[in-house]
Amino acid sequence: MFKGSFTALITPMRNGAVDERAFQDLCEWQIAEGTHGLVPVGTTGESPTLSHEEHMRVVELCIEAAAGRVPVVAGTGSNSTAEAIQLTQHAKEAGATAALVVLPYYNKPTPEGQYQHYKAIHDAVDIPIIIYNVPPRSAVDMTVETMARLAKLPRIVGVKDATADLTRSLSTRLAIGSEFCQLSGEDGTAIAFLSQGGHGCISVTSNVAPRLCAQMHNAWQAGRFPEAMAIHERLFPLHKALFCETSPGPVKYAASLIGRGTAEARLPICEIADSSKQKVKSAMVSVGLLN
């Protein structure tokens, strides 16, 4: 079971190239701060604009840096089933703990197409698979019924849910059972998600506030609910600021403020506006990450 605070890692860049040293330093810092797991090359890691070679290299760098201390859930999704299988096979061979596979975007598969896509990956690669359901980006939503059907396959072990539907985790738990791992993909609703049967969060905010995010989940798991809620309330302004523009623009700027790489991203993600920079700075100060 995956639980707690998993960081949807940014991919630091410098002069147009992946900054391998900054990335591995980020992974090391995350582990030192208490993060429970690492998720390289998801959307926050700019997987849409990495080449296949860069994508695979970032997965390898993360696994090397983690050195078995925390799980590595590698992003391996694609709207091409064959490509998703290729990326998932690489993640398995590189030593990833699990694969995070986004619903196929743009081509908008039917529920049967969704099922067959994940089944093909499942049958091709012997690795635990977490479904990534993010309708705002993929333009399709996996129903609880389709997810329950997929959960009968032994290596489909959980979901990253970014639907922002606060009833979804409970519906999923009732349909599939408590052993099916449910990780929120929305920092701002993390506590609500946990209270409805969730197990953790794949977090953008933990790129810059890993200790607080981990402490929040530790408190929740220990039954210290007021403490968890207090941390969540403290972090809430930062959650909002990091999505004042399309992610990962704001979080890469936030990371640059604390020396975790540059703010550089690849087009079509561009430098955030000055007004957005001020929102991010103000939120960082309010949380205590900047003076």
Instruction: Dump pLDDT digits (tens) for 22-34.
Output: 999 999 999 999 9
Mean pLDDT within 262-283: 97
Exposure letters 23-56 (e unless 16+ CB within 10 A, then b): bbbbbebbbebbbbbbbbbbbbbbbeebeeebbb
User: Binning pLDDT at 50, 70 and 90, where does residue 252 land?
Assistant: very high
CA distance 39 to 65: 12
User: Binning pLDDT at 50, 70 and 90, where does residue 109 land?
Assistant: very high
DSSP H helical ranges for 152-241:
168-176, 190-195, 210-221, 225-241
CB atoms within 10 A of CB 114: 24
Is residue 244 in a domain? no
Is residue 80 in a domain? yes
Which residue reads 């012997």 in tokens?
A: 126
CA dihedral (268, 271, 277, 283) in degrees, to 10, reads 50
Is residue 142 in a domain? yes
Cα of first residue to Cα of last residue in the chain, in angstroms, is 38
CATH number, domain containing residue 214: 3.20.20.70
Is residue 275 in a domain? no
28: left (phi over 0), alpha (psi -120 to 50) or beta: alpha
* 44 assigned ligand-binding residue: yes
Domain count, the chain: 1
Pick the catalytic residue from 3, 92, 118, 132.
132
Mean pLDDT within 8-36: 98
Is residue 145 in a domain? yes
CA distance 139 to 244: 21
Boundaries of domain holding 150: 4-224
User: Binning pLDDT at 50, 70 and 90, where does residue 1 land?
Assistant: confident
Decide if 108 is catalytic. no
Cα-Cα-Cα-Cα dihedral sign, residues 255, 261, 262, 267:
negative
Kindly provide the residue ranges of all beta strands, DSSP E only, lying in 12-103, ordered along the sequence.
Answer: 13-14, 17-18, 37-39, 73-75, 98-102
Pick the catalytic residue from 3, 92, 118, 160.
160
Mean pLDDT within 137-142: 94
Is residue 254 in a domain? no
Mean pLDDT within 120-129: 98
pTM: 0.96
Decide if 160 is catalytic. yes
Q: Please name the helix (run of DSSP H) or strand (run of DSSP E) that holds residue 117, with its range, or none.
A: helix 111-124
* 202 assigned ligand-binding residue: yes
Q: What is the pLDDT of residues 43-67, one digit of tens each?
A: 999 999 999 999 999 999 999 999 9
Is residue 243 in a domain? no
Q: Cβ distance 133 to 106 under 8 Å?
A: no
Q: Which of 175, 172, 209, 204 lies closest to 188 in space, CA to CA? A: 204
Is residue 89 in a domain? yes
